[in-house]
């Protein structure tokens, strides 16, 4: 399928692994732009953030490329959770998720610079539901102290030890990991 160079606008090891699973050749140039939250719904927010990342990275090159920008947030009730800044914040986030069902939104922007230097893009988001078993305080602190929470929206990585606390998932698992590959694959076919 691939005939054009792809750039992933993210340093996420999970997104890197998912693109590798898709069999895509790509390079990584993480966006350095400060994120500005825009939108009124979680879907709009992740779409806008993914767009900002793709736009930042495509502006750094004049090549005929496809840039993939992504962003993931966790929503529990009306609270939007990004990445925690401290262990205490990670504990608070997980404590708010345990015993409940929450939503995970991942926005994806595919931005393409064509040979005539015209830039086009497509942006979409996917949503998954995650139900977390009730957790004891000691279990939450033990998980937080592992360090796995600090670079993840909602303060957990479902692919790691936190998976033992997940009761149910509705939706595409890869959305929770940060890159809904089925939707990405279908969208990328338009660019080849």
pLDDT score of 1: 57
Give the global pTM: 0.93
CA atoms of 109 and 181, how far apart (whole Å): 12
Give catalytic residues, as residue numbers.
Answer: 71
Residue 116: its pLDDT value, please?
A: 81
Residues 97 and 130: their CA atoms lie apart, in Å, by 9
- Selection from 132, 124, 140, 143 nearest residue 103 by Cα: 132
Planar angle of CA 115, 119, 121, nearest 5 degrees: 125
Cα of first residue to Cα of last residue in the chain, in angstroms, is 7
What pLDDT, on a 0 to 100 scale, did the predictor assign at position 191? 82
pLDDT per 10-residue tile (average), the chain, 192 residues: 85 95 95 88 97 96 93 95 95 98 98 88 98 98 95 94 97 96 94 78
Q: Residue 2's pLDDT is what?
A: 64
């Amino acid at each position: 399928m691939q005939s054009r160079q792809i750039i992933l606008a993210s340093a996420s090891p999970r997104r890197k692994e998912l693109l590798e699973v898709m069999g895509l050749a790509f390079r990584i140039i993480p966006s350095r732009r400060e994120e500005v939250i825009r939108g009124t719904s979680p879907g709009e927010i992740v779409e806008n953030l993914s767009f900002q990342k793709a736009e930042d990275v495509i502006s750094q090159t004049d090549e005929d490329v496809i840039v993939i920008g992504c962003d993931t947030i966790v929503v529990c009730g009306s609270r939007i959770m990004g990445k925690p800044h401290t262990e205490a914040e990670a504990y608070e986030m997980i404590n708010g998720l345990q015993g409940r069902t929450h939503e995970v939104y991942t926005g994806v922007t595919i931005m393409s610079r064509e040979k005539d230097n015209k830039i086009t893009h497509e942006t979409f988001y996917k949503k998954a539901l995650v139900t977390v078993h009730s957790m004891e305080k000691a279990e939450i602190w033990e998980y937080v102290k592992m360090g796995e929470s600090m670079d993840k929206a909602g303060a957990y990585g479902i692919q790691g030890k936190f998976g033992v606390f997940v009761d149910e998932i509705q939706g595409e698992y890869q959305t929770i990991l940060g890159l809904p590959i089925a939707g990405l694959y279908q969208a990328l076919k338009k660019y080849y």
